[in-house]
Amino acid sequence: MAGNLTPKQQLFIEAYLGAAKGNATEAARLAGYKGNDVTLCAVGAENLRKPRIAEAVKDRLSENKNILSADEVLEGLSKIARNTNEETKDRIKAYELMGKHHKCFTDKVEHSGEIEAKVIRVPAKMSAEEWSQQQWAQPSESV
């Protein structure tokens, strides 16, 4: 079916499934269609309604059925981590990858330099309106 597509339509499909990550407007832009975002959105939507393009996209997506989904990857890592017959290094790596996925580990971030913070004192008995009117009249303190 791809033989019946124009070169620009083929570029649109490549962009839609690749760099544009499913964004028809961006795919139209990357394929070389001209216009502002509104025009490119209309072009992208129109292209996706064309039977030949829709079928080509569907065919390309069905080719990717052999790629593991995120859930399948996590399931496989879980099986490796729990399998006592696996080598220890493989189990540790599986645990590490699962821990990273679940954000179990935090990286230490060091900051050097000064941080300036301003403290604004608001009396407890002051209404929000009164505070709003006076907030610029009073100087703030640096900490």
Structure tokens at 47: 């292209």
**Is-above-0.85 flag for pTM?**
no
End-to-end CA distance of the chain: 68
Domain 2-66's class? Answer: mainly alpha
**Cα–chain-centroid distance for residue 48?**
22
Q: In the block, which residue shows the tokens 């309604």?
A: 49
Ranges of each domain in the chain? 2-66, 70-101
The Cβ-side half-sphere exposure at 84, using a 13 Å CA radius, reads: 0
- The answer to whether residue 1 scores a pLDDT higher than 60 is no
Q: Which helix (H) or strand (E) holds 92?
A: helix 88-101
Distances (CA, A) of 135 to 116, 122, 125, 139, 143: 19, 8, 15, 8, 18
What is the C-alpha separation between 138 and 140, in angstroms, rounded? Answer: 6
What is the C-alpha separation between 115 and 130, in angstroms, rounded? Answer: 30
**Helix, coil or strand: residue 141:** strand
pLDDT at 123: 67
- The answer to whether residue 135 scores a pLDDT higher than 70 is no
pLDDT in tens, 36-77: 999 999 999 999 999 999 999 988 888 766 677 788 888 999
